[in-house]
Amino acid sequence: MRHPGYINSWLQILKNDTKTIFTAAAKAQNAVDFVLDKAGVNDCHEAPLPAAA
Protein backbone atom coordinates (compact mmCIF):
# COMPACT_ATOMS: atom_id res chain seq x y z
CA MET A 1 0.00 0.00 0.00
CA ARG A 2 1.16 3.48 -0.85
CA HIS A 3 -1.27 5.40 1.35
CA PRO A 4 1.31 6.73 3.85
CA GLY A 5 3.51 8.02 1.05
CA TYR A 6 0.55 9.63 -0.70
CA ILE A 7 -0.55 11.40 2.47
CA ASN A 8 3.02 12.44 3.24
CA SER A 9 3.41 13.95 -0.22
CA TRP A 10 0.26 16.02 0.33
CA LEU A 11 1.50 17.12 3.75
CA GLN A 12 4.73 18.35 2.18
CA ILE A 13 2.82 20.23 -0.51
CA LEU A 14 0.57 21.86 2.10
CA LYS A 15 3.55 22.84 4.25
CA ASN A 16 5.20 24.52 1.27
CA ASP A 17 2.09 26.32 0.00
CA THR A 18 -0.82 26.90 2.36
CA LYS A 19 -3.09 28.04 -0.49
CA THR A 20 -2.86 24.66 -2.23
CA ILE A 21 -5.81 23.23 -0.31
CA PHE A 22 -8.03 26.07 -1.53
CA THR A 23 -6.92 25.57 -5.12
CA ALA A 24 -7.58 21.83 -4.87
CA ALA A 25 -10.99 22.43 -3.30
CA ALA A 26 -11.95 24.92 -6.00
CA LYS A 27 -10.92 22.51 -8.76
CA ALA A 28 -12.86 19.70 -7.07
CA GLN A 29 -15.93 21.93 -6.91
CA ASN A 30 -15.56 22.75 -10.59
CA ALA A 31 -15.44 19.03 -11.37
CA VAL A 32 -18.56 18.37 -9.29
CA ASP A 33 -20.40 21.25 -10.94
CA PHE A 34 -19.44 19.90 -14.38
CA VAL A 35 -20.68 16.40 -13.56
CA LEU A 36 -23.92 17.67 -12.04
CA ASP A 37 -24.51 19.91 -15.04
CA LYS A 38 -24.00 16.98 -17.43
CA ALA A 39 -26.39 14.91 -15.28
CA GLY A 40 -29.00 17.66 -15.48
CA VAL A 41 -28.96 18.41 -11.77
CA ASN A 42 -29.70 22.06 -11.09
CA ASP A 43 -29.68 24.24 -7.99
CA CYS A 44 -27.81 21.81 -5.77
CA HIS A 45 -26.36 24.74 -3.80
CA GLU A 46 -28.60 26.46 -1.33
CA ALA A 47 -26.24 29.39 -0.88
CA PRO A 48 -22.76 30.10 -2.25
CA LEU A 49 -19.86 29.65 0.09
CA PRO A 50 -17.76 32.69 0.94
CA ALA A 51 -14.57 33.17 -1.04
CA ALA A 52 -11.32 32.07 0.55
CA ALA A 53 -9.34 34.85 2.16
Q: What is the structure's pLDDT at 46?
A: 62
pLDDT for 47 equals 67
User: Alpha carbon of 48 to those of 19, 44, 53: distances in Å?
Assistant: 20, 10, 15
Q: Supply φ then ψ for residue 37, to 5 degrees.
A: -65, -45
**Residues near 14 by Cβ (< 8 Å), separated by ≥ 6?**
20, 21
Question: What does the pLDDT read at residue 50?
Answer: 78
What average pLDDT does range 26-41 have in this prediction? 92
Residue 11 vs residue 51, higher pLDDT: 11
Given pLDDT bands bounded at 50, 70 and 90, which one contains residue 45? low
Instruction: Quote the pTM value.
Output: 0.59
More confident residue, 52 or 5: 5
